[in-house]
Structure 1
Amino acid sequence: MSNAENINAEKKYNKWIVVLSVIIPLAVAALFGIKIPNAEPLTFLPPIYATTNAITAILLVAAFWAIRNKKVVLHERLIKTALALSVAFLVMYVAYHMTSDSTKYGGEGVLKYLYFIILITHIILSIVIIPFVLITYVRAITGNFERHKKIARITFPLWLYVAVSGVMVYIMISPYY
């Protein structure tokens, strides 16, 4: 495919990227406020979804290594698995918050400020990363690898930060569950 054909192929996905980039955060925010009455609290989920974030971070680093070493098929499989784990994380996170009360951070002093800085940047970047991941993925599947590489240079560190900071937030709040 020529570069123009690749860009045209990309454009077919743009509407979906915009829709998903808006709907996912809005749905999460809406569902976050809904409590299922008399539901069994899913309090076992936080360590599972924190582990999911940790595995996602490892997969992202492995995918970076794979592409640097020209292992394209491995890179593709690792990224698809990281995407699937990110979706699984989101489902578990929403399910937890629909059945359980939010846990308050109980630390004090500098650690409390550090926790909130990590938490707030994690939340903001978890919203920001959605279109970046989708655009990066679409550019790869449409064969527009030069444009894919350009945006992947931004997407990779942001996505990695979201995955690692999710684990850090869990570790810092886990004594208060």
Structure 2
Amino acid sequence: MTDKFIFRFVAIVTVVVILLVVLLNRHMIPGPAVAPAFTPYLPMLNAMLNGTCTVLLLASLYFIKQGNITVHKRLNIITFCLSSLFLVSYVLFHYLMRNETVYGDLNGDGKVLGDELVIYGLQRKIYLSILIPHIILAAGVLPLVLLSFYYGLKMEVVKHRKLVRWTFPIWLFVTASGVVVYLMIKPFYHF
């Protein structure tokens, strides 16, 4: 496989994934009338996957700093697989669940109490200040992860290191902030 083919493949995968997520979040892809019983557990699964990936990324950094390339590779492959599982679970949740969860909506009626209660207003601003960069960086990290893996598996160390300087902190932020976002929005789930 040539670099040109890989770049095109990464671009196509990235565009398809982002488009799918946008369409699902805008409810432009019809899901089932009734969500399966396991659906409410998917956000918790996603948070657990993100938390595990955060720990694995930090362990991977530790082992590469120790010069242990074998463990570094294995941890990154596991992290990549878990992140892929997260993506499937995330897409599945948004396909199956049609109810919109809004931060500050205690009654489940779509009315945000954050505007009425000062504490929820402040918490909502904090939540959005974490959620917005999480979403933007989650969309941007996919091609970086794919290309980092490509160069790492090919043992093109110079290209891999150069790219991972950006990939690692973004991927780490996305996985860690995903857990924080879940913990903050969990009290407002109505399913």
Corresponding position of 1:152: 164
Point out which structure has higher relative CO (alpha carbons under 8 A, 6+ apart): 1
1:125 aligns with 2:121: no
Gaps of 5+ in 2: 105-113, 115-119
CA shift at 1:31, angstroms?
3.3
Contact kept in structure 2, 1:10 and 1:138, CA below 8 Å: no
State the secondary structure of the residue aligned to 2:40.
coil
1:17-32 matched pairs, under 5 angstroms:
17-32=10-25
| Aligned residues between the structures | 170
Contact kept in structure 2, 1:49 and 1:92, CA below 8 Å: yes
Q: Which has the higher helix share?
A: 1
CA shift at 1:39, angstroms?
3.1
Deviations 1:53-102 (A, max 9, x none): 00000000001111111111111111111111111111111111222213
Corresponding position of 2:187: 175
Q: 58, 63, 72: which is aligned to 1:61? A: 58
1:39 aligns with 2:51: no
Gaps of 5+ in 1: 1-7
Q: Which amino acid aligns with 2:177?
A: S
Corresponding position of 1:11: 4
Deviations 1:111-139 (A, max 9, x none): 11010111111111000001111111111
Corresponding position of 1:77: 74
CA shift at 1:9, angstroms?
4.4
State the secondary structure of the residue aligned to 2:35.
coil
- Give the distance between the partners of 2:187 and 2:43, measured in 1 at CA: 12
- Give the distance between the partners of 2:185 and 2:174, measured in 1 at CA: 16
* TM-score of the two chains, using structure 1 as the length reference: 0.90
- Give the distance between the partners of 1:38 and 1:113, measured in 2 at CA: 32
RMSD between aligned alpha carbons?
A: 1.5
- Give the distance between the partners of 2:188 and 2:20, measured in 1 at CA: 27
